[in-house]
Structures are given as structure tokens and as C-alpha cells.
Structure 1
Amino acid sequence: MRVALSTTPHDVTVQERPDPVAGPGEVVCRVLACGVCGSDVSTAWVARKVPVVLGHELCGEVEQVGEGVRTVAPGDRVVIHHHAPCGECRRCRRGHETLCDRFRTTALDPGGFAERVRVPADLVDELLPLGDLDVERATFVEPLACVLRALDRVGLRAGDSLLVVGAGTSGLLAIAAAHARAVEAVWIREPRPERLQLATTLGATRHADELVDVALVCTPARAAIADGAAAVAPGGALCLYAPPAPGERLDLDAFATYMGEVEVHASYSAGPADMRAALALLASGAVDPLPLVTHRLPLERTAEALELQRGGGAVKALVLP
């Protein structure tokens, strides 16, 4: 099979590898589509992993099932999650499934920028049937799940007001998800006119000086985080959704944070319940992500897809093996 191997954070080579084989309890899927995530183009994030086959926003068709697998069968179309928590450790019990040691060590073989992936036994129970959902929308299950977890962590609920800072894929999905939760008002801060226009098309209003219950900052820029914090009303919450560079300091007014009882949260990745909730939202049509897809490229053009995402030329690029 062919894989797109990232040899450095900016260099990709397409190479041949042996087809994976499903061992006991395992599944092999043919990759149908895989989205490009912001983490796939983060130099600091990818540098720790290379050489690596990236891609974790994927769906596929089951081709092989190993001995003992009863939950899926060849021909099933599924969303493929890349991590799974243990559900029993202290972090899991406290609602931090994505910080679980098992979550961090489970992984696909290789990543989604490949023609096939082997799903290890620990992840087989996380395969979710697509039903009637098309494969392009299915690539948004994982990124939408991450957004839903962030909104849950800050307690966003009907009647609240939300400021989204940054209209990339995550910010735009947050706008759609907030409307699905009957949020009273959704504001957007975004410097790029074309992204701002897309955000307003999805139902957000350009932010001025309005105070909000929740600010979700979908960019690691210090100035953006400060803008989000400044907009949080007393009793509100700030959520850091994009990872700043290691060693980066937050520029927050400690006195205002204290006197306003402002909660500061961070949210990383998504757990099994978040994946199921995202799939349900997409299947119902309450959130339609297709307007976010700007580029569809074959596997041999994975490097181009990554560069488009890195440089902002794509809102969302999909790799279609």
C-alpha cells in the first residue's frame, strides 16, 4: 500500500509499505477520506514524531477482521478514532480522559494519510458505524468531537453568549455547534476577511466590545488569548483550545480574573462519548461541515494538502486515498 510519510515537519514522501494484517482482536480498514488537522501542520507538534504517517480525522471501510472481532464486519463503513482511554484511572474518573496514559499510548498503524490502517484491539470498540453519513462529513466527527468536549468543559448551555476567537475549522465548527445548543448569541473575532465572512454566514456576528459568558480561543496567539480573556464577563469562562508553543506565557490580568471569578480552562482532543455525540449531530444534519471543505486532494498530493492548511490557503483540506 501507499503511505504519505512526513520525514520532517515540512517534507512528505509517498512510499510503498506492506499491507497491514489484522491480528487477533484487530481490524484493517481501507481509508476512504482523512482531514488535515491543525496539529498536522504544527512544527513543534510534528517535530517530536517524525518520521511519521500523520492523519487522524478519518473514516474507512472494514476489509479484514481478526479472530474474536464481533462488532464490525468486512464492508462496514466506520469512523476510526485514534485513541481510547482506560475509563478507570484517576484522570478518567475526574473527566480528563484525554490525559489518560492509555489514551496517549493507543494509536493507529500507521496514520490516516495511507491507503489502509490497522486498528489495534484497544481501539476496535471505538469504531463507529457511518450509517447514511457520507465520507466527507464523516471526517469531521473527530474535530467536531474535540469542539464539543471544549464546550462541555466550559459549561456552555442554551441562553449563553459565546465569543469564538479564530475562524479556522475548529472555530467555525464551534459556531455551528453553539447554534445547535441554542446559544443566545455567537460572536467572532477573525482578522482574515474571507474567514470572517464564512463565520458570519454560519451565524456569528462580528465582535466589538461585547462581554460574553464564554470565550473559546482557537488560536495560540498571545494577543488573541488576551482579547478572549478581556471579553469574558464576570462569572464567565475562558477556554484555550489551540496549544501555545512550549514555554509560552499567558498574558492575563490576574486581578481581573480573580475579582471576576473567571474560570480558565484548556481542552485537548476528544473521548469516546464526544465522538458519539459528534456523529449524532452530523447524522442529524444539525451541523453541516461541508461548506468548510475547500480542497480535496489524492494521497500523492498530501504534501500540498498540508501546505495549504499550514499557510491558510485551505479552510479544510481532505486527503482522499
Structure 2
Amino acid sequence: MSTGTARDTGGEVAAYMERLGARARAAARAMAAAPTAAKDAALEAMAKAIEDQAARLAEANARDLEAGRARGLDAALLDRLELTPARIAAMAEGLRQIAALPDPVGEITDLRYRPSGIQVGRMRVPLGVIGIIYESRPNVTADAAGLCLKAGNAAILRGGSEAIHSNRAIAACIRAGLEAAGLPADAVQVVETTDRAAVGALLRMEGYVDVIVPRGGRGLIERVSRESRIPVIKHLDGVCHVYIDDRADPEKAVRVAYNAKTQRYGTCNTMETLLVAEGIAPEVLPELARRYREAGVELRGCPRTREILGEDVVVPATEEDWRTEYLAPVL
């Protein structure tokens, strides 16, 4: 009986995703022809809805955080999941920044004449329906919706189950913005189910979805790459490096390197490895080490770094450290 239930559940999820795909395809046709003014009006309306509903977003996010702590999510994942007042305001500001960008649709570049006298160029056109699969960070819902909308696309957004309440609340703001501007509400759809079968179904919807964009950890990226029948635009690990050249402004270099590591530990664009030219290392490393230690950052370094800073300050770096994404106060 359990096998039958699982099969029925999988069928329900597949049917649900099929409906999302059909609605997205219909909306994509309208979005491809949407005027710039309507798209920008929708983005502004979304931003205002997020501001107006900030308390509701915070309440929904609190439910996700409580559930995440109960599930034992680590500090880095909880940080990604959290929507602080500043992050909610940043979502609204991000949508307004997208609205201020030039409309890419219809832009023509690389015009040139062929020997026959015909003029040939490249015109930027919408992709169609974009499926975006991501983990933890609910603010991606607003960012992805805004970017897809501006470029004249429809989007199906599948966030992580740990952010389901936050994503639903943000989706309501997005839908309100689309409706206020007279654009199809189905232009951006957030997958409502947390069933993992929804991801598999989305990856097989080549009749409705034109491209898949995964954002998350190695496991997610590898699964999407392996299972998708649809073209995938992907990244892999976010092991970000910062290099300080021996001709760099030392004061500016220290500020940049310190901020790159300590602003947030749990994001994929956080610095994980610092490379310093030997000529400037004795000048910048002591000050950086002092700041990092005050911030509680554990330092792991090469023999020369340990010689400059002291073996009591820096532990030896292993070969594995140079390719590790810590998502933690470790450098």
C-alpha cells in the first residue's frame, strides 16, 4: 500500500508541475511582447508590496527559522535563510534597481554587412520559460523574479523546503505586482509543494521550460546536471579567492579583504582563500590578522604566512583547505 501511495503522490506532483508549465508557457508569450513601461511598473509594484508586507514576510520567515533550528540546520544555512529588516529592504531596492536598468529586449548589436550587401546583426530576445532551482535564501525569489521579468521571460521558481513559508509570502508580493501592472500573474510562479519529486518533474518539462538555472550546493548542481533534459546554466563551488598584488594600496587592500570574509560567512561569494604577493605580505598580513582574530576568524596558512604572523596565530593549511568552501569564519 505504501508503494501505491508514493506512486499516487508522484503522479499528483507531476500533474501539478504540468499545470505550472502550461501556464508559464502561455505567460511567456505575453511577456515577450510586454512593453518596458509595464515591466518596470510591475517591478515597482512588487517592491512596494514587499515594503508594505514586511511584517508578514518577517512572520513567515520566523516560522522557517524555527523549523530550521528544530531540524538542526547549521549556522551558515540559518544565516542564508534569515530575512532581517535590512534584507527585506534590500529585496525591494534590488527590484527597483532592476527596473532602472535598460530593457535588454530588442537590443541589436554587432551589425555588419555581408558580401551580398545584407546587413546582419544580433538581436537580444527573451529565452521563454526559465526554471530556477535554489536552496535556503528566500531573497533569491525576488531577485530571480525581477531579472526574469525584466528580460521578458516567464519563470518557475523552486526554492528549498526550508524556506517554503518565506517564499510563499514573497510570491504573493510578486503576484500582486504583476497584476497591478496588467501583466500575467503566471509570469512568475513559485512551486508550492516541498515534495522533492517536483524538482525531478521540472527537469523533465522540456515541452514547457527552455532553460534551467540551479543555485545551491554541489549536490544540487550535480543532480540537476545529471537529470535535466533541458539546457542548464550552472556554477559549481563558490570557493572565492582574493589576491592582493604588491602594487596594491595597502589600506584599501586590507578593507577589501576584511569585508570579503566577514560581511557574511554563509554566502557563496564569501572569500575563502586569500592570496598575497610576497612583497606586500609583511605590510598587510599583520593588520589583517588582527582584524580577523577580533572577528573570530580562524586562520590557516602556508609556511611563509605562519612565519610572518607566528605559529600561534595561524594553523597549518592542508592541501584540502585550498579547495574548501567553508561557509564559516575560517580563512
TM-score range with shorter-chain normalisation? under 0.3
Give the TM-score taking structure 1 as reference length: 0.27
| Rg larger for | 2
The structure with the largest strand share of the pair is 1
TM-score (norm 2): 0.26
- Structure having the larger proportion of residues in helix: 2
